């Protein structure tokens, strides 16, 4: 029960970070928002890890894999923040939900995992859902929609690298290095797009990192009580707050095509997660 509460808490608060990021993106370049997300994340998360999990602060066993994983998450963040700066939060998040589908494909190609007929069917259904959301041939496909898809693809590579990394380093150390790598990279880029924030913008920038850090901290804690595959379907709970925030603050409400595409994508993702749970259960017997 603890795992479920912590996991749902994380997916409840993370859309708040997205909403603040979308608002700030109307006032400054989205890369400046990404910088705030990473820079203040390091300032907030490092003391937390130092106080509660100090024994885990060691040099990573696989620094290359840590760096690769951080790059994938960094790309995912940039693409998603750009996407929500142009299109609705609900549409961007729906497109990013292709991640479990891409993970299934990558698991077969990169990890040589056996993917059966049913899971491949789920992949096809999810892809069909993504096509419904984008509506190629009916509307002009813009860069923001492609960035939403790119978010899911980048996040899928992040998940795959995280799977590999679990056999090397602990999740608390991984959280620290994720923030550090992202902060260093974006700090070299953001000066070219920098505009000096006012006091309210500074507070929002810090709040984005604080909410994001709290959300990811809850995700990490939830994984102490349950396996990732069992908690994976709960990630779709994020769309509820995402839609509410998008509608209340930005006047964005999903149209019928987005609802239909969301149904196909979530159905395929949940089915893949259930198959993963069943496979893990069979292996445990």
Q: Maximum Cα–Cα distance for the chain, whole Å?
A: 59
Region 76-83 average pLDDT? 93
**Confidence at residue 197, expressed as pLDDT on a 0 to 100 scale:** 95
* Cβ contact 115:108 at 8 Å: yes
Please state the separation of Cα 107 from the chain's center in Å.
Answer: 18
Give the predicted TM-score (pTM) of the model.
0.82
pLDDT digits (tens, 9 = 90+) for 214-247: 887 787 778 667 666 566 667 777 888 888 888 8
pLDDT tier, 194 (very low <50, low <70, confident <90, very high otherwise):
very high
Residue 88 sits at φ, ψ, to 5 deg, of -65, 150
Region 54-69 average pLDDT? 77
**Confidence at residue 284, expressed as pLDDT on a 0 to 100 scale:** 46
Highest mean pLDDT among 73-82, 238-247, 255-264: 73-82
Burial (CB < 10 A; 0-12, 13-18, 19+), residue 151, is: buried
Residue 64 sits at φ, ψ, to 5 deg, of -65, -45
**Confidence at residue 137, expressed as pLDDT on a 0 to 100 scale:** 53
- Selected residue with higher pLDDT from 258 and 227: 258
Distances 96 to 56, 141, 191, 192, 283 between C-alpha atoms, Å: 31, 16, 28, 28, 30
| pLDDT surpassing 50 at residue 149 | yes
- Across the chain, what does the average pLDDT equal? 81
């Amino acid at each position: 029960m603890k795992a479920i509460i912590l996991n749902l808490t994380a997916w409840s608060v993370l859309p708040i970070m997205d909403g603040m990021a979308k608002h700030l993106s109307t006032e400054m370049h989205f890369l400046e928002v990404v910088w705030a997300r990473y820079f203040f994340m390091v300032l907030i998360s490092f003391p937390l890890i130092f106080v509660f999990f100090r024994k885990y602060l060691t040099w990573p066993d696989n620094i290359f894999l840590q760096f690769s994983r951080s790059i994938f998450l960094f790309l995912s963040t940039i693409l998603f923040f750009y996407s929500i700066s142009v299109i609705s939060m609900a549409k961007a998040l729906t497109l990013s939900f292709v991640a479990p589908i891409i993970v299934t494909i990558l698991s077969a190609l990169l990890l040589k995992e056996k993917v059966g007929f049913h899971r491949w069917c789920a992949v096809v259904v999810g892809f069909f859902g993504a096509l419904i959301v984008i509506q190629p041939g009916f509307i002009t496909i813009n860069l923001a929609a492609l960035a939403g898809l790119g978010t899911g693809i980048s996040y899928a590579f992040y998940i795959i690298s995280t799977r590999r990394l679990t056999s090397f380093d602990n999740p608390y150390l991984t959280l620290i290095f994720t923030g550090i790598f992202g902060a260093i990279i974006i700090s070299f880029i953001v000066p070219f797009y920098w505009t000096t924030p006012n006091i309210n913008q500074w507070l929002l920038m810090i709040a984005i990192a604080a909410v994001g850090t709290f959300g990811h901290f809850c995700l990490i804690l939830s994984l102490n009580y349950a396996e990732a595959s069992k908690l994976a379907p709960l990630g779709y709970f994020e769309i509820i707050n995402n839609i509410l925030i998008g509608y209340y603050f930005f006047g964005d409400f999903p149209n019928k095509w987005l609802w239909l595409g969301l149904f196909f994508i979530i159905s395929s993702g949940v089915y893949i997660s259930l198959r993963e749970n069943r496979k893990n259960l069979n292996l445990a017997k």
